[in-house]
Amino acid sequence: MSRGTIFLEQAALIQRHTYPQDQHVVRLLAPECARRAEAGMFVHIGCDVDIPMRRPISIMRCDPDEGWIEILYKVMGPGLRAFSRCQPGDKVSIIGPIGQGFRPTTARNIALLIGGGVGMPPLIFLAETLAAMNSTDSSCRYEPIAFFGSEIPFPFELVGGQDQIAGIPEQVTARLKLTDDIAVPSRLASKAGIPGSFDGYVTELAAEWLKMLDQAALDRVMIFACGPNPMLQAVHDLAQRFQLPDQLCVEEYMACGVGGCAGCGMLVHTDKGPAMRRVCVDGPVFDGYSLDFLRSQEK
């Protein structure tokens, strides 16, 4: 857990790539944020001087040495529309890094990462983190595997290939070049007919893979996920079906974004009973079994 320092920075926008359906990948020079960012944390972005409310966006990648962070977002309304007009060289006000991120543990070293739509960024960050831990710390033996789903074109370079993942249909070959480059196996799911992808929901793809694991392997699996609430519900159903722990990165409407206004309260269940938690600073990552909105769906 980190209750680290949160910084206000005037970040320089250094790169923008635009993808179909108003998806954008943006790189920002923000050295303080890059130094302390962890997978699952987010930045609160000032989109325009005329729009007082900031917008929360997950950190997808960072390079502490070069001092940049990268984000992926899809425009939903006026805030991110205004931010999309910022071009390389422009300055952007950001607050970050904010929140409690994912907590991988070597006790469950098979990390099943599931990301949906603009919920993919925290899982990409986690995949890079686990791969880096494996290469720098010989006591770490994480075995990450990632499944990503989208119903619109993926805002990434995609690759295919011959190598198989046990349990995954052999025609399902599409994956992200980003995760291939760090040797994290991944596959894509979509009902939109993306070539090489699994024709269905990302959770159905993950279930295919889980089904072929024996009990000894299942005992080593931890699920990490981020995506829209119906996807998180399906992920949590999967966790219950296979009796696995899950860490879920959730979204809530936010005002201050730094713990001061209680505007992002979410009902969770703790050892001491029900309690309200602030998604911005107590989350956005929570134990899936603690989340009331998932429990209330249980039969």
The number of angstroms, rounded, from the C-alpha of 117 to the middle of its chain's C-alpha atoms is 10
Cβ of residue 82: shortest distance to ligand FAD, in angstroms?
Answer: 8
Cβ of residue 277: shortest distance to ligand FES, in angstroms?
Answer: 10
CB within 8 A of 288, min separation 6: which ones?
223, 232, 235, 236, 239, 245, 246, 247, 248, 294
The two three-digit tokens of residue 101, written as one number: 């991120």
Given candidates 255, 267, 269, 289, which one binds ligand FES under the rule CB under 6 A? Answer: 255
Query: For residues 246 and 235, what is the distance between their CA atoms, to the nearest angstrom?
Result: 8
Site string for ligand FAD, 38-57 (x = CB under 6 A): ----x------------xxx
Q: Is 288 in the site for ligand FAD (CB under 6 A)?
A: no
By the 10 Å C-beta count (0-12 exposed, 13-18 middle, 19+ buried), 291 is classed as buried
Q: Which of 230, 235, 154 shows the shortest CA–CA distance to 195?
A: 154
**Alpha-carbon distances of 236 from 17, 68, 221, 268, rounded to whole Å:** 33, 33, 14, 15
CB nearer to ligand FES: pick between 31 and 263: 263
Q: Is 261 in the site for ligand FAD (CB under 6 A)?
A: no
Residue with smallest beta-carbon separation from ligand FAD: 77
Q: Is 108 in the site for ligand FAD (CB under 6 A)?
A: no
The two three-digit tokens of residue 173, written as one number: 């070959």
By the 10 Å C-beta count (0-12 exposed, 13-18 middle, 19+ buried), 214 is classed as exposed
What are the phi and psi torsion angles at 201 (to 5°)? Answer: -80, 155
The CA-based dihedral angle spanning residues 236, 242, 245, 246, taken in that order and rounded to the nearest 10 degrees: -30
Q: Which does 261 bind (CB under 5 to 8 A by kind): ligand FES, ligand FAD, none?
A: ligand FES
Given candidates 97, 122, 257, 288, which one binds ligand FES under the rule CB under 6 A? Answer: 257
- Name the segment binding ligand FES (CB under 6 A); options: 186-194, 197-205, 217-225, 255-263: 255-263
Q: Is 267 in the site for ligand FES (CB under 6 A)?
A: no
Given candidates 6, 34, 80, 231, which one binds ligand FAD under the rule CB under 6 A? Answer: 80
Cβ of residue 230: shortest distance to ligand FES, in angstroms?
Answer: 23
Cβ of residue 254: shortest distance to ligand FES, in angstroms?
Answer: 4
Residues forming contacts to ligand FAD in the complex (CB under 6 A) are 42, 55-58, 72-80, 118, 121, 251-254, 284
